[in-house]
Amino acid sequence: MEKIDFGTQQGLDSLANLFYQQARIIEKTVEFLFDSLTKNPQERVDTIYFLVFGLITSSKSILMLSYSGKIAECYILARSVVERIIIALYLLICDQDEFTRYKVYSNQKAIRMKNREIEVDTVKAVLKASNYEEMLNNPEVIEALGVFTGPKGRKITRWNTKSLKKMLDSIANRGLDVRYLMLAMLAIYDEASEVLHGTFYGAVFHSGIFETGLPKEKSELEKTWISRLSLILFSLSTCIYSLIKGIDNIYPIQSFSKESLDLLKNI
């Protein structure tokens, strides 16, 4: 791969290709893990398998959106990729109690999703599965609900209380390199949050209006788009390497870690 000329269309095309190649390594990793874990199960890697698998479709979607200039949507999906990568790495190194809590959370969430309601003024809307009462007879479900119900009967909505920053601290303390993940947090996370939360900043920041004012020509807008898309694709490409390297430290996955690193060497 040639040196990437950041801020140009050619550079963006090169970064899109880099991200595509890194996404292909995720696909190969998933295929390898599927075969390997069948013969040699490892609870932690088994659990994050589906998190990693989901990154395949997210990566393809980001590429499709980037080709059509859908920047806000790229930020939203990119944030989900970064968050899932950090959580996957954290699950590989956290203590057993917290790991178990992550798994139990899904059991209680599955049943709670079967019976939901919202009340506005005097109107109540309810969404309840026909077999909800029957599902409550499952001892595992009852136990999970107890774990995630507070002393006053309120549901506990998170499987842990750590922020992503605290998770990164824990990952780094176990000897894993988190520098690329830190960059991604700075480059993607806050902007994506503004888009999701419907702020005016989130609606228009990707036009460059807060840096250079309202674009006067289409070329100015395209330059801003190229810059922001380049940063997204670069950040995600390096995050994928961090994920592959982290898995490789726990559960050797052939040469994928080296292959991913080699793609980054010419940047």
Q: With CA atoms as reference, report the closest residue to 50 among 33, 73, 74.
A: 33
pLDDT at 213: 66
Q: Give 3-state DSSP helix, strand, coil % of the chain, rounded to 5.
A: 70, 5, 25
Mean pLDDT for the chain? 90
35-39, 103-107, 203-207: range with highest mean pLDDT: 103-107
pLDDT above 70 covers a percentage of the chain that reads 97
Render pLDDT for 206-249 as a digit per residue (tens, 0 to 9). 877 777 666 677 777 788 888 899 999 999 999 999 999 999 99
Q: Could you read off the pLDDT of 179-189 as tens digits, one per residue?
A: 999 999 999 99
Residue whose tokens read 């079967």: 114
Q: How far apart are CA 150 and CA 73, in angstroms?
A: 36
DSSP string, 56-92: HHHHHHHHHHHHTT-HHHHHHHHHHHHHHHHHHHHHH
Q: What is the pLDDT of residues 82-128, one digit of tens each?
A: 999 999 999 999 999 999 999 999 989 989 999 999 999 999 999 99
CA 155 to chain centre: 25
> How far, in Å, CA of 141 to CA of 107, rounded?
6
What angle is formed at CA 15 by the lines to CA 251 and CA 177, rounded to 5 degrees? Answer: 35
